[in-house]
A = this chain, B = another copy of it.
């Protein structure tokens, strides 16, 4: 279960047995957080670093006008707040969508990494650079792609990330967002998300049913979405598609 993080990190560089063991031990204690709960809130300053072990969460911000923008999806193996050591306060919130199991690394674990485990530190740095690349691609998506293509692109990305942590090997995975939440992610109205999904479904690109995404032909979807996974910076090409 909690080896998602390890699987992910090893897409960058193999870990030593010792680092692997240490990570397992330090992420062993998890708590369960129900759906639609905040893991961290904007303005707060958590002292611990949280890692999603299982479930689905999102990074989001609420504007003064009360509109919500979601700008990242967090799945097993993803860090919530690596920034903690440097920044004084969160500039956005993180909320669960589905029930999550969350591990908590105390500040000592973080300093253990930075001081004594340089290989791990490099891997975490890689994570945060990939997150940054993912944000950039998100912007490209919102700015330059038509709605259906936009959703398709997001699905292609998630499919790759799910494969990395072994949550799919057949282009089918759990996706608990509502259409309203997809809309808040992509800057679209709920109604238009619904119509775009219908378009995708009717064209045979994807279907979302019972909180599950099914991609009948991933190559066709990649083509349609103009998806190029370079920004995920995976070493292992086999994972991509």
A-side interface residues, number (CB < 8 Å) = 44
A window 98-137: CB within 8 A of B: 122, 125-126, 128-129, 131-133, 135-137
Nearest-neighbor residue (CB-CB) of A135 within chain B: B135
Contact B126 A71 (CB under 8 A): no
- The residue of chain B having its C-beta at the shortest distance from the C-beta of A144 within the complex is B67
Selecting from A21-29, A191-199, A226-234, the interface stretch reads A226-234
A92 within 8 A of B: yes
Of the residues B87, B139, B233, contact of A129 by C-beta under 8 Å: B87
Is the CB of A143 closer than 8 A to any CB of chain B? yes
Given contacts A136-B71, A139-B138, contact A230 B187 (CB under 8 A): no
Chain A residues at the B interface, C-beta cutoff of 8 Å: 43, 59, 61, 63-65, 67-69, 71-72, 83, 86-89, 91-92, 122, 125-126, 128-129, 131-133, 135-140, 142-145, 184, 186-187, 226, 228, 230-231, 233
- 27 CB contacts below 8 A, A to B, read A61-B136, A63-B145, A65-B144, A65-B226, A67-B144, A68-B144, A69-B139, A69-B140, A69-B143, A69-B144, A72-B136, A86-B125, A86-B126, A88-B233, A89-B233, A91-B133, A91-B136, A92-B136, A128-B132, A135-B135, A135-B136, A135-B139, A139-B142, A142-B142, A142-B187, A143-B184, A143-B187
